[in-house]
Amino acid sequence: MLQKLEEVERRYVELEGILVDPTVLNSRNEYARLAKERSDLEEIVATYRGWKKLRSDIEGHRSLLEAPDPDIRELAKEELPALRGKCDELEARLKILLLPKDPNDDRNVLLEIRAGTGGEEAGLFVADLFRMYSRFAEASGWRIEVLSANPTGVGGFKEIIALIEGNKAFSRLKYEGGVHRVQRVPATEASGRIHTSAVTVAVLPEADDVDVHIDESKDLRIDVYRSSGPGGQSVNTTDSAVRVTHLPTGLVVSCQDEKSQHKNKAKALKILRARLLERAQDEQQAEQAESRRSMVGSGDRSERIRTYNFPQGRVTDHRINLTLYSLDRVLGGELAPLIDALNTHYQAEALKAAS
């Protein structure tokens, strides 16, 4: 580990010198690339330097244990445990920082929420979850834009797809993908029986043009049709809705939320690129079966990951056996306790696998 940390620090110092080179300063793309590399190393280097200083302080205090003055010896003895504790904390942090980085962590997110079993009640819970993620996004300083929505007519959605743009959005939301189960008494239930419904959440990294190559003239079939449902004067009176079919894979994406056919097409292509990127990554991960088993958000939507129990006011994440009796706050967007616990758990699993 020390050898790796020294290499990282050397590269960081090297980048500091390169970034003040006039040739690099005059090349915007090269400067941006190198500045990002330096930024990615910054936390590791700062933590490593802090760890080295603590190691030096500990050695200094150890030498004071042999000092002739008893007061100095006693002071050094008292301070050593705290210094060792801080040093251990930084060492554990360094091990996490040296883990291979998920290349998607800095990406924006395509969030897809779909009703599963449970009829109208499942559709209503889609709306609840979308509201939850929207509030969490807003609290995180991110921007959220609905790309496609299929309302049920009673305040729910059969499906809603949104783009979440913000710093490290995917790194925070990537463990939210899976089956979310809700247990509650529906408003339409006269006998007061608790119903169980399911909703599927998919969290996809937004794909760039360079990630997924699409030849629009050969790979796509684009159909336009009249929008259905409410939408004002021109939404459902012109052929503004767009259905995009990716011929090589058979993937189909439809968008009809905008009045403009051009905007609907752009949104549909954004969704299609994200799904194609996920498909390509899934195929790559499938070739590495052992490592895939330790990953979450790899596209496997079959596992129930979380239960929201309204009568008991609790949320349980089944992957880490964590139960919080703060259902209202979680649905209000306070997801940090769940997300932080999941990140800690999967970092520990990655450390275990690496060792």
- pLDDT value of residue 287: 52
- pLDDT value of residue 137: 96
Q: What topology does CATH give the domain 2-97?
A: Methane Monooxygenase Hydroxylase; Chain G, domain 1 (1.20.58)
> What is the pTM for the complete model shown?
0.69
Tell me the β-bridge partners of 112.
161, 202
Nearest-angstrom CA–CA distance, 314 and 120 = 22
- pLDDT value of residue 236: 47
Contacts of 312 (CB under 8 A, 6+ apart): 325
Give tens-digit pLDDT for 17-74. 999 888 888 888 888 889 888 988 898 999 999 999 999 999 999 999 988 888 899 9
Nearest-angstrom CA–CA distance, 338 and 355 = 26
Contact 109, 163 (CB under 8 A): yes
Closest by CA to 177, choosing from 158, 198, 200, is 200
Q: What topology does CATH give the domain 216-286?
A: Double Stranded RNA Binding Domain (3.30.160)
Domain boundaries, the chain: 2-97, 109-207+295-354, 216-286
Pick the CATH number of 109-207+295-354 from 3.30.70.1660, 3.40.190.10, 1.10.3210.10, 3.20.20.150: 3.30.70.1660
Task: Kindly give the parts of the chain with pLDDT less than 70.
Answer: 188, 190, 209-211, 227-238, 284-303, 355
Measured in degrees and rounded to the nearest 5, phi and psi for residue 182 equal -120, 135
Contact 353, 294 (CB under 8 A): yes
Give tens-digit pLDDT for 132-178. 999 999 999 999 999 888 898 888 999 999 999 998 899 999 999 99
